[in-house]
Amino acid sequence: MRLVTVAGPPSSGKTAVIIRAAEALRADGVRVGVIKFDCLSTGDQALYERKGITARTGLSGNLCPDHFFVSNIQECLQWGEQSGFDLLVAESAGLCNRCAPHIKDVCAVCVIDNLSGVETPRKIGPMLKMADLVVITKGDIVSQAEREVFAHRVRQVNPGAVVMQVNGLTGQGGYELGRLLAGAEETVSLTGRLLRFSMPAALCSYCLGQRKIGSDFQMGNVRKIDFS
């Protein structure tokens, strides 16, 4: 089975883009399954199922969503194998702009939208900078100049990636994205594989349930803004 990780800021169009690619692949007889990682709640599983795409949801609740992702991805792979998929898409939101669920030698996709502004590519960390494929959405509502500048800014921070425009509403580019995903490497097992980059350091008193504000209540990995 082939595995791809798809990550991107909330509301950038990840689900719509995956649905477009999956529909195009289904027409070619490729069986696609989706595992959706989210934090609190998501209606996306129902959205996938309405389109006839088998999907499962993993909610991280009060755990760091990307840590939750890493702790579960091997089991997701097994589920995909048992379900007989040709392609499993692991979709997750990048919430702090620093995390990335991307795994070495597993096709990594980042979805970002033209509306998020030209400074956004610089603000997103490994999720964008280490992706193999960057999908830019919502191109139908901004000017040609903005599309070109935005794509250029993406190329500046990730010169090696394939950059393509996909429109989740009209489906433009969905077929082409499907072809690229179907060509991803086969993944047999993830045990022992490496994340492309370490998750951000955590573990301070607030990770452990502290709610009070003030230096006296801060322990562990704490960093302060330099006002000097």
Partner 1 sequence: METLHPTSGYTALLLGDLLRELPRAEDFFTSLGLPLPAGDESTETYFGRIPAETLEDLGIERRELGERFTAFMDLLVVLRDKGNGPAIEAITILGGVDKDGAPEDFSLTIRPGEVISIVGPTGSGKSRFLADIEWLAQGDTPTRRRVLINGCAPDPARRFSLEQKLVAQLSQNMNFVMDLTVAEFITMHAESRMLGDVAGITATVIAKANELAGERFSPHTPVTALSGGQSRALMIADTSCLSISPIVLIDEIENAGIDRRRAVHTLVGEGKIVLMATHDPILALMGDRRLVFRNGGIAALLETSPAERANLAAFEEMDARLTAVRNALRNGERIDRL
Question: What does the binding site for partner 1 look like in residue numbers (CB under 8 A)?
Answer: 27, 98, 100, 114-115, 117-118, 121-122, 125-126, 129-130, 139-146, 148-149, 151-153, 155-157, 159-160, 162-164, 170, 172-173, 175-176, 179, 197-198, 201
Alpha-carbon span 49 to 28, nearest angstrom: 19
Locate all alpha helices (DSSP H) within 35-64, ordered by sequence.
44-50
Nearer to partner 1, 24 or 55 (CB): 24
Sign of the dihedral through C-alpha 145, 97, 190, 192: positive
Q: Tell which phi-psi region holds residue 62, choosing left (phi > 0), alpha (psi between -120 and 50) or beta.
A: alpha
Minimum CB distance to partner 1, residue 156 (Å): 5
With b meaning 16 or more CB within 10 Å and e meaning fewer, what string describes 171-192?
A: bebbbebbebbbebeebeebee
Minimum CB distance to partner 1, residue 118 (Å): 7
Nearer to partner 1, 14 or 129 (CB): 129
Minimum CB distance to partner 1, residue 48 (Å): 22
Nearer to partner 1, 152 or 193 (CB): 152
Q: Which two tokens stand for residue 114?
A: 């033209």
Nearer to partner 1, 88 or 127 (CB): 127
Minimum CB distance to partner 1, residue 151 (Å): 5
Among residues 69, 156, 169, the alpha carbon closest in space to that of 113 is found at 169
SS3 26: helix
Nearer to partner 1, 46 or 169 (CB): 169
Minimum CB distance to partner 1, residue 147 (Å): 8
- Contact present, 18 and 91 (Cβ < 8 Å): yes
Nearer to partner 1, 43 or 200 (CB): 200
Minimum CB distance to partner 1, residue 92 (Å): 16
